[in-house]
Structure formats: structure tokens, C-alpha cells
């Protein structure tokens, strides 16, 4: 059946009243007939202010879904601007942008509902793999078929282009280079496969996605490139307002604003010949997603504590769920410990004669989906104080001696614990490179282990700002390079962490908060109101389909200041981020490359407070 006849039949079906979504005969690449072309979604093409239909070619049809590839390169972005933090495709800035900002702005709510999740990387919008661009049945028999042009908008964003009559440009694949872990595969000149640093800003983005053909109808067009099928969600495909409160986008998308410039040159590139394909295309997609978020509103956030029965857990003051406390806010001397863990309500409480912990989970649905945990901790510093706890004290700096952080908390019977600065990652990197790798100032229980700051001019995240914790409960913050480990040891600092940026200093938001970490990610922060009064905050991320898409360091700074912190610092985030109460991790962890969903990153220590025999 020709494309023209197919278009006529479908048009008649719509006009005849067959408005409910139904499957129709659409095919992938044919070596005699070429591609069928469709449009779906809108994106800037001719200028930043334009919003024009996105043209897609149909690569293949499997299990009732069409695999679409953008005909043109739509944007120019790095895979990961801070290459030192690149931990694989599924945790990258580009993955998060495609499945966050791009997904939400390029498609309407009903259009998002017809996009299926790709089982290979749990994305709704993805990139092709090296195997897929070697697949002849997708229309890639040789290198020349990989070549693509960038839109005017993409070129205005810095997209590189090669000389020639047609100005083809490089575009990303989703594979990490097997030779260099901080390089990504891409299509280069003459359509060959190459690789370059993940922080390259001149490589293009050519999205790909699966569309459920049972949920769309053809509104117009013949399927040719000059007259593409116009795909439209069938009537009956729900809009966001008609579906459940919690929207579903990609498994781990997060909006990724323009990443910061690192000032480092792109890595060298190597062209590789294309061979006959040996791998099959990506696994067939899963069921269609439920509705993705609607357009971002402009009003202020509406974050509310979660409820426990008829009680709204207050985020300020003492919870009424505590037993009667003494005048100092702790249990009376001689009284046994009290603990309560109500995951459904999002409330965790602990009290003893020298420690009180109150944790509340907060869910925000607008202007973007965010969920975080606010832990307020009061202690008598002479009895309980924050300090670091090692998995194996004798092998503290061995990067291979790691375990789950909640296991470390149980090992030490900790009431409350969270991740620290994950300095062990930088120790491991030092062993892999042939130059002095910055580890920062690392002191644990009075033992100065490392004193290797960054260059003060470095703009690479994390800046390795310093948090010093003293035996009397005091906390001091320093910029990277502002002090030394020996100087802090002379002052009596018990534990010194290096990560950053500084979020709040002397009661004011630090300018460092806007200079580093402007990408939405899972994050953690540690802050002090005064000696004996602390806040720890964990923001979940990479869970945008269900709970939270993460946030920036500036958001963390604003939150810590709102809570009353006079000093606060950003600690390691991403998959490292964890908050543990009575030996059990209470936060959820998103999907990361090479790991299962909700899986901790193994660590060598935790930052914790309080010892309880109830923790086993």
C-alpha cells in the first residue's frame, strides 16, 4: 500500500467518526522506498523564538510502536559539563535535559502520553547507540547515511559544522567510549563514528523516541519528507489534568539548565570505520507512560508536609508526636529512648536525654516536582556530636573497601546518619591519573589524612570548599584554598570535610551557591543554626516520573537559610546522597548507569550522630 493511499484511508477514518485511537499500518525504513516521515512536537528551529514542528524519520516499527529519529540536529549541548562527575549516560546532564525540560516543553501533555519508555535506558527521549547506527534495517548501510544537518537554532547554540556544500555537523550517541570513561561516542565528519570529551559544547543533539501507534492518528500529510504525516494524539488520550496527581515523565529526568563552563579543552577525537551490524536494535519499548507534567506555572511553590492520619507534621517547633519532654527539649534524665518511624506519613522522630531528631518529608508539586527531607537535630555537644564513622578504620583510604552506607550506620548503631564528602572517589582518581589530583582537606577524628586543595581559580564542580567540625559543636566554613589542614588541626578541628559549594555563611546565602551546581540533581546539605542545633537536608532527584527531579545548589542555599542556618555547606549528591534513621535509609535513589533503581553507592564512611542499642 502506498503512502498516499494510507493517508487517504486514515483521513477518511477520522472524518467518518473513528476518533478513538487505533493502530494503523506504518512501517520503518525500506531500502526501495526509503523512510516514512512524521511530525510530532514543537521546538525552536529557525530561531530561539520560533516553535516549529519537529520532523522525524521512522526507523522501525516493533510491537505496535514506531522508533523515531529527529531528521535534524535540534540543539548543541554537552553530555556532562563537569566531566569529572560523569558517571554514565543515564546520570548525565544531557539525559536529564532530554527527559526533563525538552520532554516537557517540546510536547503537549497528550503528546507525552503517546511516548513509550525505552527499556534499554529507561528514557522517554534518548539518543541512538553505536549498534543502532550500524543497523542496515534502520537505513544505515554505510557512513554517509549517518550525516545530519543542524537547524539554524542549533548552529546559533554553538553547533560545529564541517566544510562542504552541505554543512553536516557532529551529533552525540548514547554510548560511553570504551577507551576513555570521560568521552562519549558521536558521529563525526563523513558520518564516521568517533569519540570526544563529554564536556564538548559543539556536538549536536539528535533525539530519538518510541511512539505508541495505538494512541495516535494521522491528522494530515502523505508521509513524504516534504509532506510528512502529522501525528496527533487520538481523542481519549488523557491530558495531565485528567490523570493522577503525580505525573510520569522519564524514570529519572531532571531539568538541566545551561551547564557551567569548565574552561577545559575537548579531548582528542578518533574516527572509527563502520562495520556490518552485529547487534540488534534496542529492546522493544514498554507500555505507554502515564501523563507527564503540564507547563510550569509561575506562582510560588506549594510545598506541604505530608500527613499522618489527621495530624499535619509541622516543619517548625516540636512535633506533638513526641512524648512529654523536659524544659531543655530532651527526654528527662533516666528515661528510656523514644523513636517513631512512619514512612507513609513521612515522619521520623527520636528523643533521648541528650539528643532529639525530627525528620519530615516534604512534597512539592509546582512549579516543579520536588521531594526532600528536612532533619532538625538538637544535641548536647558534651554527650552527642556529629562526627564521621568509618566502614573499616584500618583501611580508611582504600577505595576498594566500601559498603552500603546504611550498613555502616548499623555497624556503629547510629541514630542518624548521612553521606559525607565521598573523598574516597577523589583518592581513587588520584591513583588513575599522572598528575596531582585535588582531594581537598580531609581530617577524620583529629587525623589529617589529606591536604590537597584545588587551584583557587578552578571553576570545576565540586569546588572543594571546606567544612570544619569542632569538639564543642561549632562549625566553620572556608573557601577552597583559604586555609590549610595544618591550620585547622592547630585550631582543634575534629572532622574536616571538603566538597561544597558553601551555601550559607554568617547567615547569608553565599555567592558560591550560584557559581556551582546549577543543574537539577539529588543533593545533600549540612548546616548549623548554633552549637547543638543543626539541619541536614536531602533533596531527591532523578525520580521525576514519581517524586522529584532534583534541584540546584542555589535551591539548597535558599532552603538552608529558610531553616535558620548560619553556616551550611553542600555535600556530595547524586547516587551518594543518603539519609539514614535508626539504621534504615529513608530516601529513594534514582536510576544510574550500571546500577539498579534505588541502589546506594557503596561508601567508606558516613557522617552521623547518636548511638542507640535499638539500631542493629
Q: How would you write 229-269 as a 3-class SS string?
A: EEEEECECCCCHHHCCCCCCCCCCCCCCCCCCCCCCCCCCC
**461 within some domain:** yes
Q: What angle do CA 426, 429, 432 make, to 5 degrees?
A: 160
Half-sphere exposure (Cβ direction) of 417: Cα atoms closer than 13 Å: 30
Mean pLDDT of 259-286: 34
Residue 351, preceding bond cis, omega within 30 degrees? no
**505 within some domain:** yes
Give residues with Cβ within 8 angstroms of 282, minimum separation 6: 67, 118, 119, 120, 129, 132
Give residues with Cβ within 8 angstroms of 341, minimum separation 6: 348, 581, 582, 584, 586
Query: Predicted confidence band at 148 (pLDDT cuts at 50, 70, 90)?
Result: very high
**Predicted confidence (pLDDT) per residue in 151-191, tens digit:** 999 999 999 988 666 778 999 999 998 877 789 999 998 88
- Name which of 476, 485, 483 is nearest 442 in CA terms: 485
CB atoms near residue 366 (< 10 Å): 16
**284 within some domain:** no
> Which of 202, 217, 242 lies at the terminal end of a domain, its last residue?
242
Predicted pLDDT of residue 514:
94
Q: Are strands 465-469 and 495-499 parallel, antiparallel or unpaired?
A: antiparallel
> Which of 225, 242, 259 lies at the terminal end of a domain, its last residue?
242
- Name which of 427, 390, 432 is nearest 411 in CA terms: 390
pLDDT > 90 fraction of the chain, expressed in percent and rounded: 63
Mean pLDDT of 240-269: 33
- Name which of 284, 139, 253 is nearest 522 in CA terms: 253
Least confident of 73-77, 118-122, 569-573: 118-122
CA dihedral 458, 461, 464, 468 (to 10 degrees): 140
Predicted pLDDT of residue 457:
87
Predicted pLDDT of residue 609:
98
**Predicted confidence (pLDDT) per residue in 283-340, tens digit:** 333 333 333 333 333 333 445 444 322 222 233 468 889 999 998 999 999 999 999 9
**496 within some domain:** yes
Contact of 159 with 169, CB cutoff 8 Å:
yes
Q: Which residue has the higher pLDDT, 292 or 397?
A: 397
H or E element in which residue 537 lies: strand 533-539
Q: For the whole model, what pTM was predicted? A: 0.54
Query: Predicted confidence band at 462 (pLDDT cuts at 50, 70, 90)?
Result: very high
Mean pLDDT of 96-113: 93
Contact of 98 with 292, CB cutoff 8 Å:
no
Which three cell numbers, joined as nine digits, stand for 78? 554537552
> Which of 242, 267, 297 lies at the terminal end of a domain, its last residue?
242
> Burial, 23: exposed, middle or buried (Cβ in 10 Å; 0-12, 13-18, 19+)?
exposed
Q: 119 is in which domain, residue-wise?
A: 3-242
Which three cell numbers, joined as nine digits, stand for 41? 512536537
Mean pLDDT of 594-603: 74
**457 within some domain:** yes
Mean pLDDT over the full length of the chain: 83
**528 within some domain:** yes
**312 within some domain:** no
Which stretches of 284-382 are assigned E, i.e. beta strand? 303-305, 307-308, 311-312, 338-342, 347-351, 355-364, 370-379
Query: Predicted confidence band at 249 (pLDDT cuts at 50, 70, 90)?
Result: very low
Query: Predicted confidence band at 596 (pLDDT cuts at 50, 70, 90)?
Result: low
pLDDT at 45 over 70: yes
**Domain co-membership, 382 together with 238:** no
d(CA 480, CA 498): 8
Query: Predicted confidence band at 22 (pLDDT cuts at 50, 70, 90)?
Result: very low
Predicted pLDDT of residue 530:
96
Half-sphere exposure (Cβ direction) of 166: Cα atoms closer than 13 Å: 11
- Name which of 483, 516, 488, 491 is nearest 502 in CA terms: 516
> Burial, 293: exposed, middle or buried (Cβ in 10 Å; 0-12, 13-18, 19+)?
buried
pLDDT at 11 over 70: no
**Predicted confidence (pLDDT) per residue in 191-233, tens digit:** 899 889 999 999 999 999 999 999 998 888 888 999 899 998 9
Give the chain's domain count: 2
- Name which of 56, 18, 52 is nearest 37 in CA terms: 56
pLDDT > 70 fraction of the chain, expressed in percent and rounded: 81
Residue 44 is classified by DSSP as: -
d(CA 453, CA 517): 19
Which three cell numbers, joined as nine digits, stand for 253? 529526568
Output the CA–CA distances (angstroms, integers) from residue 247 to 120, 306, 613, in the order listed: 22, 18, 41
pLDDT at 16 over 90: no
**379 within some domain:** yes
Mean pLDDT of 119-123: 87
Contact of 116 with 287, CB cutoff 8 Å:
yes
Amino acid at each position: 500500500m502506498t503512502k498516499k493511499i494510507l493517508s487517504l484511508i486514515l483521513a477518511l477514518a477520522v472524518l467518518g467518526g473513528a476518533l478513538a485511537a487505533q493502530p494503523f499500518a506504518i512501517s520503518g525504513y525500506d531500502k526501495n522506498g526509503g523512510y516514512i516521515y512524521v511530525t510530532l512536537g514543537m521546538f525552536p528551529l529557525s530561531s530561539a523564538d520560533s516553535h516549529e514542528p519537529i520532523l522525524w524519520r521512522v526507523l522501525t516499527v516493533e510491537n505496535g510502536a514506531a522508533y523515531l529519529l529527529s531528521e535534524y540536529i535540534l540543539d548543541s549541548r554537552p553530555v556532562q559539563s563537569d566531566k569529572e562527575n560523569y558517571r554514565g549516560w543515564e546520570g548525565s546532564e544531557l539525559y536529564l535535559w532530554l527527559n526533563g525540560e525538552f520532554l516537557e516543553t517540546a510536547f503537549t501533555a497528550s503528546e507525552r502520553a503517546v511516548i513509550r519508555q525505552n527499556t534499554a535506558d529507561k528514557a522517554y527521549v534518548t539518543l541512538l547507540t553505536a549498534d543502532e547506527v550500524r543497523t542496515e534495517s534502520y537505513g544505515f548501510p554505510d557512513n554517509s547515511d549517518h550525516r545530519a544537518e543542524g537547524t539554524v537554532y542549533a548552529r546559533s547554540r554553538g553547533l560545529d559544522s564541517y566544510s562542504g556544500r552541505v554543512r553536516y555537523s557532529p551529533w552525540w550517541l548514547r554510548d560511553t567510549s570504551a577507551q576513555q570513561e570521560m568521552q562519549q561516542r558521536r558521529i563525526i565528519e563523513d558520518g564516521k563514528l568517533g569519540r570526544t570529551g563529554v564536556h564538548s559544547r559543539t556536538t549536536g543533539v539528535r533525539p530519538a523516541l518510541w511512539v505508541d501507534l495505538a494512541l495516535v492518528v494521522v491528522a494530515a500529510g502523505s508521509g513524504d519528507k516534504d509532506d510528512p504525516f502529522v501525528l496527533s494524539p487520538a481523542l481519549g488520550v488523557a491530558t495531565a489534568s485528567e490523570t493522577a496527581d503525580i505525573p510520569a515523565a522519564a524514570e529519572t529526568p531532571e531539568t538541566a539548565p545551561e551547564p557551567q563552563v569548565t574552561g577545559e579543552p575537548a579531548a582528542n577525537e578518533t574516527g572509527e570505520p563502520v562495520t556490518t551490524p552485529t547487534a540488534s536494535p534496542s529492546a522493544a519499548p514498554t507500555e505507554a507512560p502515564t501523563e507527564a507534567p503540564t507547563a510550569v506555572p509561575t506562582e510560588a511553590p506549594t510545598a506541604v508536609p505530608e500527613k499522618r492520619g489527621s495530624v499535619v507534621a509541622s516543619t517548625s517547633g516540636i512535633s506533638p508526636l513526641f512524648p512529654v519532654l523536659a524544659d531543655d527539649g530532651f527526654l528527662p534524665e533516666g528515661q528510656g529512648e523514644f523513636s517513631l518511624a512512619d514512612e507513609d506519613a513521612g515522619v521520623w522522630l527520636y528523643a533521648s536525654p541528650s539528643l532529639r531528631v525530627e525528620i519530615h518529608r516534604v512534597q512539592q508539586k509546582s512549579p516543579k516536582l520536588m521531594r526532600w527531607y528536612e532533619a532538625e537535630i538538637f544535641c548536647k555537644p558534651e554527650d552527642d556530636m556529629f562526627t564521621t564513622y568509618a566502614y573499616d578504620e584500618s583501611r580508611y583510604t582504600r577505595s576498594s573497601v566500601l559498603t552500603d552506607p546504611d550498613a555502616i550506620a548499623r555497624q556503629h548503631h547510629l541514630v542518624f546518619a548521612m553521606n559525607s564528602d565521598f573523598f574516597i572517589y577523589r583518592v581513587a582518581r588520584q591513583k588513575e591519573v599522572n598528575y596531582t589530583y585535588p582531594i581537598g582537606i580531609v581530617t577524620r577524628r583529629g587525623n589529617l589524612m589529606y591536604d590537597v586543595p584545588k587551584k583557587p581559580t578552578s571553576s570545576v564542580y565540586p569546588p572543594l570548599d571546606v567544612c570544619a567540625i569542632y569538639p564543642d559543636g561549632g562549625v566553620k566554613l572556608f573557601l577552597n584554598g583559604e586555609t590549610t589542614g595544618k591550620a585547622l588541626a592547630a585550631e582543634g578541628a575534629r572532622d574536616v570535610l571538603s566538597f561544597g559549594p558553601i551555601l550559607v555563611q554568617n547567615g547569608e546565602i553565599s555567592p558560591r551557591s550560584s557559581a556551582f551546581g546549577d543543574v537539577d540533581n539529588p543533593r545533600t546539605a549540612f548546616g548549623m543554626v548554633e552549637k547543638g542545633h543543626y539541619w541536614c537536608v536531602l533533596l531527591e532527584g532523578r525520580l521525576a516520573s514519581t517524586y522529584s527531579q532534583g534541584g540546584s545548589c542555589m535551591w539548597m542555599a535558599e532552603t538552608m537559610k529558610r531553616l535558620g542556618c548560619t553556616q551550611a555547606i553542600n555535600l556530595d549528591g547524586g547516587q551518594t546522597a543518603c539519609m539514614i534513621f535508626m539504621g534504615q535509609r529513608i530516601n529513594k535513589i534514582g536510576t544510574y548507569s550500571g546500577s539498579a533503581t534505588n541502589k546506594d553507592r557503596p561508601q567508606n564512611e558516613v557522617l552521623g550522630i547518636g548511638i542507640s542499642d535499638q539500631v542493629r
